[in-house]
Chains A and B, each alone.
Chain A
């Protein structure tokens, strides 16, 4: 058995994972990063739009500061976030953007003088100050008071990913691709590393470390319509939850993006609307301003996705062979703007739709996009339940996003949280020595090898992994999408329970040798169905509407009873998650209030309880 030992094992080499790794390497620790794909192919690289940080260099960002960014983030979360964490994030983000500039990110910069921008289809003029020339500039994104999103054209994630991976190469960090962690090695108290399947040879390997960080991104692929890459399948979350002691935070908190293209669900960036693109209905008329007079197309994602769904339900959708959709219109932005600032969008429209966005409308509909939910950690990134286990980025519920995260806040979170948590891991490593139990390691390896042998030999049954997986995805699409209600959720759970049982009876059709995909899918399916059941059970229990979680039968936000965070545990041999709850935030800097968009009523919390937890800054 190949066994590798290091100080820190990072599972997932996207932006969060590599940022964590860099911090430990800079402190002199031995780090290994494992990724199922070459690091630069991580889903971080697909983020087009940008990173929010209150730098305030550009004209439309003037007067911005970390307090405003913090306020936007808390409002965006619908008061579901941990305000202490959101504050750390907002305060650290500008420094991190500058650090990235120092490391090599080619941020777009302020160009002085007069220029034009669009808002709601109308043209406006702005003037960039000469004294700001050459500083990092920003663009507009939904749900923000200021232009705050730092960007590199529309390939921000890609550009930052290149720089981060370059930094790892410079520091000599071992980054291995085609390695998939299939279970954690732990004794119920501390994490010792992971059992890993090599995706070249198919062989099992052991990676031991004093600290393990799971940075495997979101789990959009639990849904059939998602903007996520095919690798965003929740495998990292699943192996953490499988320990029985690590909970998934707010499983029901899933974001749907307003503009996935139809039919392939590839995302076109929020930058389209930020730059002045509009949404049109079957009559090719704007409608967002009717529902949201102030923010219109620029309301937060959950609100836009909900209003789009409402508008289609009211009969204003465009019928197509792939179901109903609406239109995104960026024609008025012009060739110059579309070919430079929105080039990736331009390419996506051409390559996947055969549409020229300069003259034609883009078919879009809400699609799964982001998991605010994730491995629940404390503010240092340490996972609940297991010593030495950490998580950062989308895989974690750190929890700065609560029930809805703002565009540009997730990509920023990867590096900002990666830096903060990376430092906390360094402190942990500096104060920690450990021992590895060969008994625990060997029994875990044996258990995993047994699973593989059983799947290949078909000893468990003959269920087809792809069929069962597709049924899980459909169950969530039907019962747990933009709108939710008790009846559909109950059906969804019942369906998923049947699927869970069948997921234990998978047998491979192929021989499972080498870089076999069917085996990989089969190994993770059971954990995926557990996550899916967590989403549905969390959504059923939460009898309110908050951010992205919309209960048709409980349309009000209920601060009296639900100003909290769901923790979904999966004890050994359970067939349903066990839900526990904790306060959403240790204290309030901003007591719960109205977001100013999205409508809906609020059931007020006890004012005395809120006052007692509100701090003055």
Chain B
């Protein structure tokens, strides 16, 4: 305790004609158990009410506050200042459209992803309110939930070498989403159907295997495994298609 923290924060408000992109320095006395949520709100309330950033749950559950903290994409709310040096540089996530300062537009990006991956259960079964639910093995339910834990913070996209180079790359969050439906017995899509979505260079074959996604995922999703799983599955599907099977 007792440190004076120096924040270097990216500033640019696209809606303000007088604004130009620049870095701005702030100082703040560190307090016990301070997180970037506490720090940024204090900066806004006490020093510059024009500062733009996003928080929602402030508990690491909702994924609103992804930003680049000293060079690494992470959730600001669960970043404790005591784990950082005295100088803290904050930048908005790359790849996504800038809303202002540290805020980026993940909302539109992810809604487009839902459509691109058809992020829903495909089934021809009708729900019958009078019937008992279809049974499912608890282990399968837990596997699905494991992949469903993605909070769509965008950190894996911002950290992805391919996504930085080509803006049509689906990215780990989208590929993980597809994997979630692949293992769900309720979804009737076949490997061929999934191949249509991700069996190409903006899908699974675009991944260069750099795996920053795995390193930085704030929810510790097993992204490396999912990328490998899909690559094998889609590779086999491609061979089968080539052989006319």
- Using CB atoms and an 8 Å cutoff, list the residues of chain A in contact with chain B: 37-38, 40-43, 45-46, 95, 97-99, 101-104, 106-111, 133-137, 152-153, 155, 158-159, 162, 165-167, 169-170, 175, 177-178, 199-202, 229-231, 263-264, 266-267, 321, 340, 344, 347-348, 351-354, 465-466, 508-511, 513-518
Contact = CB atoms under 8 A, between A and B. Distances in A.
Contact of B33 (A45, A231, A353): A353
Interface in B172-227: 184, 186
Q: Interface residues of B: mostly helix, strand, loop or mixed?
A: loop
A170 B123 CA distance: 12
Given A42-B62, A104-B121, A513-B16, 7 more contacts: A38-B106, A46-B57, A134-B137, A266-B59, A348-B60, A466-B49, A517-B44
Interface of B: 13-16, 32-33, 35, 44-45, 48-52, 54-64, 78, 80, 99-100, 103, 105-108, 110-111, 114-115, 118-121, 125, 127, 129, 131-138, 140-142, 144-145, 148-149, 151-152, 184, 186
Nearest to B149: A155
Given A166-B119, A169-B119, A153 B145 contact: yes
A101 B134 contact: yes
A510 B15 contact: no
24 contacts: A37-B107, A38-B106, A40-B62, A40-B110, A41-B64, A103-B127, A104-B120, A133-B135, A155-B145, A159-B148, A199-B99, A229-B62, A230-B55, A266-B58, A340-B142, A348-B59, A351-B60, A352-B78, A353-B33, A465-B49, A466-B45, A514-B99, A517-B52, A518-B49
Contacts of B111: 38, 169, 175, 177
B49 A167 contact: no
B238 to A, nearest CB: 27
B61 A98 contact: no
A511 B63 CA distance: 28
Nearest to A165: B114
A321 B32 contact: yes
Contacts of B57: 41, 43, 45-46, 229-230
A467 to B, nearest CB: 8
Given A104-B186, A109-B141, A514-B15, A98 B129 contact: yes
A101 B140 CA distance: 13
Contact of A516 (B14, B52, B140, B148): B52
Given A41-B64, A102-B127, A511-B50, A109 B135 contact: yes
B100 A515 contact: yes
Contacts of A263: 33
Contacts of A109: 135-138, 141
A135 B32 contact: no
Given A353-B33, A466-B49, A514-B14, A158 B61 contact: yes
Chain A CB count within 10 A is highest, among B106, B138, B140, for B138
A447 B14 CA distance: 26
Contacts of B13: 513-515
B77 to A, nearest CB: 8
B115 to A, nearest CB: 6
Contacts of A340: 142
Contacts of A136: 133
Contacts of B16: 511, 513-514
Contact of A37 (B62, B129, B140): B62
Contacts of B48: 510
B29 to A, nearest CB: 15
A606 to B, nearest CB: 41
A196 to B, nearest CB: 15
Contacts of A97: 133
A101 B162 CA distance: 36
Contacts of A344: 61
B46 to A, nearest CB: 8
B121 A38 contact: no
Contact of A152 (B44, B49, B129, B145): B145
A153 B146 CA distance: 9
A155 B78 CA distance: 17
A266 B38 CA distance: 13
3 A-B pairs with the lowest CB-CB distances in the bound complex, closest first: A514-B15, A134-B135, A510-B50
Contacts of A166: 114, 119-121
